[in-house]
Amino acid sequence: MKSPQLLERRDPHTFLLWLGISSIVLLFLVLSLIYLNHRVRSGGSLPWISFQFPKVFWLSTLLILMSSYTLHRAGKALKTDQFSNYRSFLAATGWLGGGFIVLQIIGWRAIFAEGASLQNSASAAFLYVISGLHIAHIVGGLIFLGVMMAEAIRHKQYIDAFIDNVNPAKQLRFKLFSIYWHFIDGLWLYLFFFFLFQHLY
């Protein structure tokens, strides 16, 4: 006899999220392999111009890690009905995510200032494209976070927030967003150390 858990209806949103995450992993894995292949061969129409790894990327990495922490704290606040703390930590997550994007752009400008651009450096082109795609996924997450923040502000009164919080749909939205955001943060850690290693060796 089959376990009752196997007979439960699987949530399609969770399935679609993990399907999307799998696609993102595959995309960045392919880009990483293309990067390594191009570097080893050092061929193609663009030269492999070296540039200094932007120090500001260290700070952006710290911010994205902090955003995962604040989102975790937001989740704990939501579970314990501390709605004011939930809004504060959710807002902090958004600001840290926005700060990450700003620092990434500053890092791009530092690389460009060294004379490495999309037109004359394959190494810079790969970094711009790969980190740019990652930023696009961060922006997507921030849009969804903005929707959740607007909803939290709309239910600012404690009783409204409590009633809204017991809604399974809201709990699922927060769960799915948390999975996505922590994944995107982890993806940047991979990219950060990947590019750092390439510049050290």
Domains, in order of start, for the chain: 51-200 (1.20.120.80)
- The pLDDT tens digits along the chain (201 residues) read 444 444 345 678 888 999 999 999 999 999 999 888 877 765 555 556 677 888 999 999 999 999 999 999 999 988 888 878 898 999 999 999 999 999 999 999 988 888 777 777 777 888 899 999 999 999 999 999 999 888 888 776 655 555 555 566 778 888 999 999 999 999 999 999 998 887 765
pTM for this one? 0.85
Compute the distance between CA of residue 75 and CA of residue 114 in angstroms, rounded to an integer.
42
Residue 42 has which token pair?
Answer: 């050092």
137, 184 contact by CB (below 8 A): yes
Residue 99 has which token pair?
Answer: 């700060």
Alpha helical stretches, state H, the chain? 4-7, 12-41, 56-79, 83-113, 122-154, 158-165, 168-200
86, 152 contact by CB (below 8 A): yes
In the chain, what is the greatest distance between 2 CA atoms, to the nearest angstrom?
A: 67
Compute the distance between CA of residue 88 and CA of residue 165 in angstroms, rounded to an integer.
16
DSSP 44: S
